[in-house]
Amino acid sequence: MSIGENLLDIQNNIPKHVSLVAVSKTKPTSDILEAYEAGQRIFGENKIQEMAGKYDELPKDISWHMIGHLQRNKVKYMAHFVDLIHGVDSLKTLKEINKQAARHRRTIACLLQVKIATETTKFGIPPNQITEILDSEEFKSLENIQIKGFMGMASFTQDDATIQTEFKLLKTLYDQYAPTHNFDTLSMGMSGDYSLAISCGSNMVRVGSAIFGHRNKI
C-alpha cells in the first residue's frame, strides 16, 4: 500500500478527537511530501538536526513535533519552529527550552515524558517526581514554555495486558493533573499499540512504520 493509503487507513481507525503525528524519522522528504499531499500536516522526528533540515526544505504549514530524547545543546536549532516537544524529562531541559523560546519571543508547548514502562531503557520522569517539578518555584518562573500534558511509551513487549496496565497508569496520572494544570494532550500509542492506547484514553498517537513502512535503522 502507498503512504497515502496507509494514512487513510489509520485515519479511518482513529476517532476525530485523536491527533495523528506521522513519525517520519529517517525517511526522505519525498515520503513526507507524499503524506502531505494526502492531507497530513503533523510530523514527528526524533533528531533535532534532521527535523531542522526537513523544516527548511518542506512547506511551512507543517506542524513539527520533536518526539525523541533531547540533547539540551541542540534545542536552539528548533526553537524557532517546533510546535510541540514530547520528550521532556527534566527541569534542566525545560529551562533550556524556556531560554531558547524567549530568544525567539515564543512560547513552546511541551509534554512531560513520564516513565511508565518497567524496562530500564526507557526515559522519563518517575510518576512520583511529577509534582516536585510542577510545584517548584523554578518551574513556575519559566514564562516561555507551556506544559500541555504527558507523553509515555509502553514496554517493548507482545503482552497487551502489560501495555494496557502502563497506558492506564499514564491516563490516571493525566486525569489527576489535567484539571489543575490545564492539560489537553495525552500522547501515547505507536504503530503496534495505538488502538489500545486510544481505548486507554490517548488523544495523540505517534505512528511511523504503519504509515511509511519499516525503517532500516533508527
Ligand X SMILES: *Cc1c(COP(=O)(O)O)cnc(C)c1O
CB 75 to ligand X: min, Å = 17
Cell of 186: 495525552
- Does 19 bind ligand X (CB under 6 A)? Our answer is no
- Contact residue for ligand X among 191, 195, 196, 201 (CB under 6 A): 191
**Which of residues 23, 35, 84, 197 is near ligand X by CB under 6 A?**
23
Exposure string of 170-200, with b = 16+ CB inside 10 Å and e = fewer, is bbebbeebbeeeebebbbbbbbbbbebbbeb
Using CB under 6 A as the binding rule, whether residue 124 contacts ligand X is answered as no
Amino acid at 172: T
Would you count residue 79 as binding ligand X (CB under 6 A)? no
Residue choice 75, 79, 109, 207 for contact with ligand X (CB under 6 A): 207
Instruction: Please answer whether residues 91 and 133 qualify as being in contact, where contact means their C-beta atoms are separated by less than 8 angstroms.
Output: yes
Assess 115 for contact with ligand X (CB under 6 A): no
Q: How far is the CB of 77 from ligand X (least distance, A)?
A: 18
Nearer Cβ to ligand X (116/190): 190
Judged by DSSP in three states, 183 sits in coil
Q: How far is the CB of 141 from ligand X (least distance, A)?
A: 29
Residue ranges in 132-161 that form contacts with ligand X under rule CB under 6 A: 153
Q: How many residues bind ligand X (CB under 6 A)?
A: 14
Taking CA atoms, 43 is separated from 7, 33, 59, 95, in Å, by 12, 11, 12, 25
* Helices (H), ranges, the chain: 3-13, 29-37, 48-57, 91-103, 130-134, 137-140, 160-181, 194-199, 209-212
Distance CA 11, CA 56 (A): 27
Q: Is 25 in the site for ligand X (CB under 6 A)?
A: yes
The residue within the footprint of ligand X, chosen from 52, 66, 188, 190 (CB under 6 A), is 190
Does position 68 interact with ligand X (CB under 6 A)? The reply is: yes
Site of interaction with ligand X (CB under 6 A): 23, 25, 46, 67-68, 153, 190-192, 206-210
